[in-house]
Amino acid sequence: MDKILFSKMQFYGYHGVFEEENRLGQKFEVDLEIFLDLKKAGETDCLENTVNYAEIYQVVEQLVTGKEKKLLESLAESIANQVLKMFPIQQVKVLVRKLQPPIPGHLESVAVEIVRGLNNNE
């Protein structure tokens, strides 16, 4: 299966369990892998035979910058469900990173990765 990759999309959101996270917000990164057949798009060079990258970006941006969620798992699930619902794709892999998690210690980020498809997204 062919795929389109979106790497390290960055957004400012208000997701987290702690009140400070919901009030102050922080940066999040999202990676997407979208699985679909790209043969016709490659042969025709027509946007109509693939998905519009800008539209997918906007969907992710709206979800990350929109209504707050407590869990990264919930945010990733929302992204996967919306992308599957709105675009003609077979499967999506979503990775959501919280770049400054409120965890005592030294770490770069914490992340959740899920894979959903037309047969396993319910």
Query: What's the CATH fold of domain 2-117?
Result: GTP Cyclohydrolase I, domain 2 (3.30.1130)
18-30 pLDDT, tens digit per residue, is 888 889 999 999 9
53-112 pLDDT, tens digit per residue, is 999 999 999 999 999 999 999 999 999 999 999 999 999 999 999 998 888 888 889 999
C-alpha distance from residue 69 to each of 26, 44, 56, 77, 91 (Å): 13, 41, 20, 11, 23
Known catalytic residues? 98
